[in-house]
Amino acid sequence: MQEKVYNVLFLCTGNSARSIMAEALVTTMGKGRFKGFSAGSQPGGTVNPFAIEQVAHTGYPTDALRSKSWDEFGMPDAPHMDFIFTVCDNAAGETCPYWPGHPMSAHWGFEDPAAVVGSDEEKRVAFNRIFRQIMARMNIFVSLPLHMLEKNAIEREIHAIGETSV
């Protein structure tokens, strides 16, 4: 019997860094159980090169990464989402589109590494720190026995993950 593959959408404002890294991490760490997607409320149109550097280490295909609007995932032909996570405080406070199927959602806030001002090395350090924080939460998430938990238990767990200090 084939195990269900859960679709997970990560939302941020610009869809250039945190949501991109989360998309790659859930897909690679989920070992076939999860398919990651990312989008933004006001996508900047480009993926931050420091985010691409971090994603490259996962084996996720970086050529497929792109900054895109969350409107794509509200369309009738869009993949059905099982989970939606906001990863920046701005997106958490915005009014999100209607998501077909009423996916479970939670806020997993992370600092914006793209906001760091300084040398490339300082930016790289910031991106690596946030990448590791996302990875820590993702490790908990992909380890949840979703097939055994009731919806209320899953919702409690995904909210608790967002409150985990990283």
Residue of 35, 58, 68, 96 with catalytic role: 96
Backbone angles phi, psi at 109, to 5 degrees: -70, 140
**Rounded Cα–Cα distance for residues 128 and 58 (Å):** 13
**Rounded Cα–Cα distance for residues 65 and 47 (Å):** 7
Closest of 68, 51, 69 to residue 60, by C-alpha: 51
Closest of 77, 89, 102, 82 to residue 30, by C-alpha: 82
Residue of 8, 9, 11, 12 with catalytic role: 12
Q: Who's near 29: CB < 8 A, 6+ residues apart?
A: 135, 138, 139, 142
12 is catalytic: yes
29 is catalytic: no
Residues with a catalytic annotation lie at: 12, 88, 96
